[in-house]
């Protein structure tokens, strides 16, 4: 990012995927349902029609306020979601088997999976901007400062497999979420001129909780259903993971940017400059670079302060959400049996570690 166009970051996926295509057929065991049922294109379309308008409505409302188009988009999304749910209940081979959610362990695990990655994605969104555009670190330096959090997630995804041999999965999962809640709580202490240590510490705690949570929820999801439903259960878990990423960035990013736009002082800017500055923190910094020194300093200071204020609100909301989830998990999974098998969770744990490295 310091030498090339930002889209170049996606090139790192090419050698990974080439290796997967070449080696996958030889090293990945074949496993498939002999009677998978029909693929329901209508359900797939309804799921997209539900999610895309809702995400659009959230982001556009934060940017431009409540409008007719935003409200219509939200209505379309909700209506499509209702139709999607009803259709799943009617089909013999649903895209998502909603009956799985009647199992408390399954529904709790999926919910926890979603919220864990929701928090992680949101912090990644505003954390990278904070390190680069507020504290002034280069993209490489910011990436290095975020590595400890990623490493803690990978390590704890492996350690979790051993912890459940000592304590019940619900206890380990609740403890991981409690630690994860401390992470965004620490981020509340960040300021415009803070050093990176507090951010690194908070992000490490979030990574610890995410590593434990995403590993154990994957195991709980598959273990809570009959073997013939394992594929469907795993698909629901993966859907929750991806949905958590999308909504974490959309919702928490919207919270941050909403407070940023409200707090940014654009009184000394013309309409074009004001529009650019209010769009993103990067836009505000870019506008300030073309202004006289004193005016540029005032705009940059206003932008930094407004962005950090938004971070504080999003961090507190995330901490509260994770803490409440830890309580829910402790209550709903308090009777879940301890895992004692010598190879318990190893396959799924390793798979999650590989996912973290790749993403």
Domain termination site, one of 78, 95, 112: 95
User: 279-328 pLDDT, tens per residue?
Assistant: 888 888 888 887 888 888 888 898 999 999 999 999 999 999 899 999 98
* Residues 6+ away with beta carbon under 8 Å from 311: 126, 130, 187, 190, 256
Q: What is the mean pLDDT of residues 175-191?
A: 91
User: 76-92 pLDDT, tens per residue?
Assistant: 999 999 999 999 888 87
Q: Please give the share of the chain, as a percent, with pLDDT higher than 70.
A: 90
User: 8-63 pLDDT, tens per residue?
Assistant: 889 989 999 999 999 998 988 776 666 767 788 898 899 899 989 988 887 787 66
Q: Which domain holds residue 146?
A: 103-358
Cα(218)–Cα(180) distance, integer angstroms: 18
User: 225-283 pLDDT, tens per residue?
Assistant: 777 777 778 888 888 888 888 888 888 888 888 888 888 888 878 888 888 888 888 88
Q: How far apart are the first and last CA of the chain?
A: 17
My answer on whether 74 and 115 are in the same domain is no
My answer on whether 157 and 299 are in the same domain is yes
Tally of structural domains, the chain:
2
Reading the block at residue 92, the tokens are 């013999």
My answer on whether 149 and 250 are in the same domain is yes
The distance from CA 52 to its chain's CA centroid, rounded to whole angstroms, is 16
Structural domain contains residue 28:
no
My answer on whether 77 and 121 are in the same domain is no
Q: What is the pLDDT of residue 4?
A: 87
Burial of 60 by CB count in 10 Å (0-12 exposed, 13-18 middle, 19+ buried)? middle
């Amino acid at each position: 990012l310091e030498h090339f166009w930002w889209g170049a970051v996606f090139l790192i996926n090419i050698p990974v995927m080439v290796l997967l295509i070449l080696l996958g057929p030889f090293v990945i065991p074949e496993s498939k349902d002999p009677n998978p049922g029909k693929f329901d294109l209508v359900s797939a379309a309804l799921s997209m029609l539900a999610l895309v308008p809702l995400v659009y409505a959230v982001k556009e409302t934060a940017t431009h306020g409540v409008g007719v188009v935003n409200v219509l988009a939200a209505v379309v999304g909700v209506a499509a979601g209702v139709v999607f749910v009803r259709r799943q209940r009617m089909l013999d081979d649903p895209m998502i088997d909603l009956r799985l959610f009647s199992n408390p362990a399954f529904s709790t695990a999926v919910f926890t999976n979603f919220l864990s990655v929701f928090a992680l994605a949101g912090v990644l969104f505003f954390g990278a901007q904070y390190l680069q555009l507020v504290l002034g670190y280069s993209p490489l330096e910011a990436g290095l400062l975020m590595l400890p959090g990623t490493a803690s997630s990978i390590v704890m995804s492996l350690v979790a497999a051993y912890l459940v041999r000592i304590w019940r999965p619900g206890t380990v999962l609740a403890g991981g979420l409690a630690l994860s809640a401390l992470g965004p709580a620490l981020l509340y202490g960040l300021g415009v001129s803070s050093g990176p240590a507090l951010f690194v510490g908070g992000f490490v705690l979030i990574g610890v909780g995410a590593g434990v949570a995403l590993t154990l929820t994957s195991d709980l999801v598959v273990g809570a259903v009959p073997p013939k439903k394992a594929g469907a259960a795993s698909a629901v878990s993966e859907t929750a993971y991806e949905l958590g990423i999308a909504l974490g960035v959309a919702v928490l990013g919207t919270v941050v940017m909403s407070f940023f736009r409200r707090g940014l002082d654009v009184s000394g800017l013309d309409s074009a400059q004001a529009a650019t500055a209010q769009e993103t923190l990067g836009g505000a910094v870019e506008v300030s670079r073309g202004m006289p020194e004193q005016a540029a300093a005032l705009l940059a200071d206003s932008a930094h302060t407004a962005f950090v204020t938004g971070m504080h609100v999003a961090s507190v909301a995330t901490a509260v959400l994770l803490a409440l989830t830890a309580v829910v998990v402790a209550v709903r999974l308090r009777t879940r049996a301890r895992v004692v098998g010598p190879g318990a969770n190893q396959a799924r744990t390793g798979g999650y570690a590989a996912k973290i490295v790749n993403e």
